[in-house]
Structure 1
């Protein structure tokens, strides 16, 4: 049996899909030490893994990410990506490596497993440590001649125009606009006694892992003719039933004949004015039932008659009743909807959300509004179009069928 040291970023959208993978490793008799945020101590221990906390400077410990890193609030696109890599990932490397070394002294791991943000773990592997494996938990950011740079939200293509666009944008983005990021990365590596990366930052970091497992399938990821042989699709991580969840009093309303529209903003970009408020305003006079999640009690005041709001509902309970999902593009929630064959309306520009929205558009499984804060009219019109046009549901069902071929935790453990 093997020993795994796992370092997953302390955010719900990273912890949730990693948990079944860790549990499967434990079931197979492997030993696991999991280093992450303190708020996940009990969740980690429930898998059977040993918990080790991140250094406090690297651990939001329950704070909203935009409160822990307030500079992120004003940034989008490449500017936000640059800040995140420099000041969330790279600035933490020295102290995070100290924490990793503390673990390794008492737990001689055979493999170091992290997500794409675990720069410290990847660098530690190159400093004479065990081999590194990466769990790709976001839309795949692996650079390719067949795709535009990650973070722009551009669709792929294989005609002369898009190939020329990709070549020019990849050079401009990775070797010009992000040149300073590569220099910053290599300065950190130099301080750690490592050689410069083999190529620009985005390209070079993906060359470090000996194994990359991506939590999706080819039906929901752009094709790459130059795909790494180390990349393996394992399918999405689907939630386990929460049998302890108590259904809200209005649950029987889901069984009425009117379509059910779920609007969800996920766990990071939680300003309700971005999407939940305009969705409610746009659909309040429509013949649909709107379910808004997550919404704290009293956060929206008096709700229209056709709206239900809850702070939390397990998607495993709710999604079988949903006809359309309106989302800001959280990767996990979007894939859970597609796993049920549910078409989407997506509005998101922060973090990885523009890339999720673009993949929904590329797959034909929904409408990309290309806005962080769309108008009520835009949301209403998009929902109506998705409800009446069967193409969106047909494509969502096609992705659902592809997802059903995979057992992600088992494939990951193998």
Structure 2
């Protein structure tokens, strides 16, 4: 039996990808403790893992972060908003995250423990950079968005630009990388200070590099074809596929489910679980665009009241939640704001997308999906109904989008994420690692 600590910031989109890993490790008899916010306690306990709460700044309500951090609303989507995220949502909770992990490790201080944390949880940075405390046997970062790494071959994370490794493209990338590093300098200084406050002595890499290279290894929960090619990708990054959660057979299907089974064309629209408090961004324009069209439109609200959508056209159905594992096999096009989890679930089922998102990582995930040929990226968080309608019609008419999605589906099927991650965890638990930062300097990009 291996002792495992898992950790995630308190957003459903960051906890949910880790849930099947936790459940699988528990089923194999491992001792698993999951550290996250109290708002996701039930989600953790449902895996069979022990729940350990974050406290203080770290215990915020992720789905309502736009209400609790008003600076996010005031900031322009993209680099400016991400800079606020880095400071207010990711960096400030570092000390409390570090303390929470140390509390769990102190319960069995002599037992080798493997830590798996999604890469936006920064609480392992201090111990990885030399802070006093109990060191895990191994620290494994888990990639839950497109990789945010700086690269000579790509524009920086947050801009939603396509890769360009040509000489002129690399000049563009170098210039933009420098500009974005400058824009994030305040968050970088705060993170460095917090590492020092916790007793860390090592040098913290640039923020987004750190998320990938400070762990001993980064297990990216995705496939290579959804990532831009990077000639300077660190050797510590390993693609493992997506650990899919089991079907939610206990969730009742809506009473109109027969309509889905009988429809010739089904279009799904969702704004995910975070940027879903303003339906006028995507849900309502999509409903307007497809009202009366020869398709069935399914709107899922991510837990928000369906009644907020108002009166619905005859060809539209709505629900707070429908298990995607049951819904997506019947979907022809998924209209989404670009949340990484839902996007990957659609692509793994061979479903093409129409994407319209600007907040969090959504500019970049939308650009990545369009780059594969499996999606149309409307490149705005507030698309016009006419543009949505035209994009949906194009995807339905042009078989190349579904063909590209099906190519990705075949690639996803080649991976067994749960088996791979389990093998790594069980091997790491047998062989303690004394220091995980020796090679960090070699992995950084100029």
TM-score, length of structure 2 as denominator length:
0.88
Distance 1:63 1:254 in 2: 29
2:408 match = 399
Q: 1:344 is matched with which residue?
A: 353
My pick for the range that moved more, 401-410 or 189-198, is: 189-198
- Counterparts of 2:222 and 2:387, CA distance in 1: 29
Are positions 1:111 and 2:92 aligned together? no
Hey, what does 2:82 align to over in structure 1? 81
Deviates more, 1:218-227 or 1:107-116: 107-116
Q: Which runs of 4+ in 1 moved over 6 A?
A: none
For 1:104-130, what per-residue CA distance to the aligned partner results, in whole angstroms no more than 9, with x for missing partners? 221335223211221122223332422
Contact 1:197 1:204 in 2 (8 A): no
The whole-number CA distance in structure 2 between the counterparts of 1:237 and 1:205 is: 20
Q: Per chain length, whose mean CA-contact separation is higher, i.e. which structure has more relative contact order (CA < 8 Å, sep 6+)?
A: 2
Correspondence 1:388 to 2:391: no
Q: How does 1:167-186 map to 2 (within 5 A)?
A: 167-174=174-181, 176-186=182-192
Distance 2:227 2:62 in 1: 31
Alpha-carbon offset, residue 326 of structure 1: 0.2
Equivalent residues in 2 for 1:186-197, closer than 5 Å: 186-195=192-201, 197=203
Greater CA drift, 224-233 or 203-212: 203-212
Distance 1:209 1:338, change over 3 A: same
Residue number in structure 2 paired with 1:250: 256
The answer as to 2:18 corresponding to 1:18 is: yes
State the superposition RMSD in angstroms.
1.8
| Aligned equivalents of 2:210, 2:239: Cα separation in 1 | 21
The corresponding residue for 2:235 is 229
What SS is found at the alignment partner of 1:120?
coil
1:168/1:237 CA distance change after superposition, 3 Å:
same
**Are 1:361 and 2:364 counterparts?**
no
**Structure 1 residue 135 corresponds to structure 2 residue 138:** no
- Offset at 1:213? 0.5
* Aligned equivalent of 2:272, options 229, 248, 266: 266
Alignment of 1:308-319 (within 5 A): 308-319=317-328
Aligned residues of 2:78 and 2:159 also touching (Cα < 8 A): yes
User: Which of 169, 175, 192 does residue 162 from structure 1 map onto?
Assistant: 169
In structure 2, the CA distance between the partners of 1:178 and 1:37, relative to structure 1 (3 Å rule), is: closer
Q: Structure 2 vs 1, CA of residues 119 and 266 (structure 1 numbering), >3 Å: closer, same or farther? A: same
Q: Could you tell which deviates more after superposition, 384-393 or 45-54? A: 45-54
5+ long unaligned stretches in structure 2: 424-446
Q: Is the 8 A contact 2:58 2:94 kept in 1?
A: no
CA contact (8 A) 1:21 1:410 kept: no
Deviates more, 1:208-217 or 1:257-266: 257-266
Please say if residues 37 and 59 of structure 1, whose CA atoms lie closer than 8 Å, have aligned partners that are also in contact: yes
Distance verdict in 2 for CA 1:103–1:198, change over 3 Å: closer
Q: In structure 1, what is the Cα distance between the partners aligned to 2:159 and 2:376?
A: 17
Partner in structure 1 of residue 428 of structure 2: none
1:201 maps to 207
Deviations, residues 157-198 of structure 1 (Å, cap 9, x unaligned): 232332221122122222x33233322222222222323635
Give distance in 2, aligned partners of 1:185 and 1:198: 8
Give the total of aligned pairs.
Answer: 413
> Are residues 1:412 and 2:421 paired?
yes
Q: Distance in 1 between matches of 2:194 and 2:334?
A: 42
| Residues 43 and 381 (structure 1), Cα distance of their counterparts in 2 relative to 1, 3 Å cut | same
Is 2:288 aligned against 1:285? no
Distance 1:137 1:83 in 2: 20
Deviations 1:373-395, CA, capped at 9 Å, x for gaps: 10000000000011101111110
Measure the CA separation in 1 of the matches of 2:144 and 2:97.
Answer: 20
TM-score normalised to structure 1 length? 0.95
**Deviation at residue 405 of structure 1 after TM alignment:** 0.6
